[in-house]
């Protein structure tokens, strides 16, 4: 009997979050362009440029952010950071305040970022992933 590794499963941000991020990016960049073009001082122009940069970075973060379940590890990925945890570190998953929380064997916990998906669905998949050992 051969055992093939389970395929990885990823939870990206929901379409609602992506649409909201797009709208926020457009509004922030429009305000930044306005300050950059109409600003009467150098500081206002720099503030406008910073708003455009932060708006674009925020949108990229919405596109890149995800939770990835692999055979023996879970990865929480964002634009500027990637956290990885081993499967053997966890004993269960629960939902607390609409957010999935992983209970560690050593007594601590890890809160997963909200993906905009149904928290109970994400919790069920993650809990099944933990319990398969």
The domains of the chain are located at 9-64, 72-131
What is d(CA 62, CA 60) in angstroms, rounded to the nearest whole number? 5
For the chain, percent helix, then strand, then coil, each to nearest 5? 45, 25, 25
What is d(CA 85, CA 75) in angstroms, rounded to the nearest whole number? 7
- Assign 84 to helix, strand or coil: strand
DSSP strand pairing (90-96 vs 99-104): antiparallel
133: confidence class by pLDDT, cuts 50, 70, 90: low
Predicted pLDDT at 6: 55
Considering the entire predicted model, what is its pTM? Answer: 0.77
Average pLDDT of the chain? 88
7: confidence class by pLDDT, cuts 50, 70, 90: low
22: confidence class by pLDDT, cuts 50, 70, 90: very high
50: confidence class by pLDDT, cuts 50, 70, 90: very high
């Amino acid at each position: 009997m051969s055992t093939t590794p389970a395929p990885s499963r990823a939870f990206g941000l929901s379409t609602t979050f992506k649409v909201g991020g797009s709208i926020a990016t457009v509004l922030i960049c429009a305000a930044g362009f306005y300050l950059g073009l109409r600003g009467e001082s150098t500081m206002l122009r720099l503030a406008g440029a910073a708003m455009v940069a932060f708006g674009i970075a925020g949108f990229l973060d919405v596109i890149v952010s995800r939770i990835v379940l692999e055979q023996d590890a879970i990865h929480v990925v964002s634009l500027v950071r990637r956290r990885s945890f081993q499967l053997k570190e966890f004993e269960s998953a629960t939902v607390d305040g609409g957010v999935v929380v992983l209970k560690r064997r050593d007594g601590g916990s890890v809160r997963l970022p909200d993906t905009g998906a149904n928290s109970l669905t994400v919790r069920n998949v993650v809990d099944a992933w933990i319990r398969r050992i």
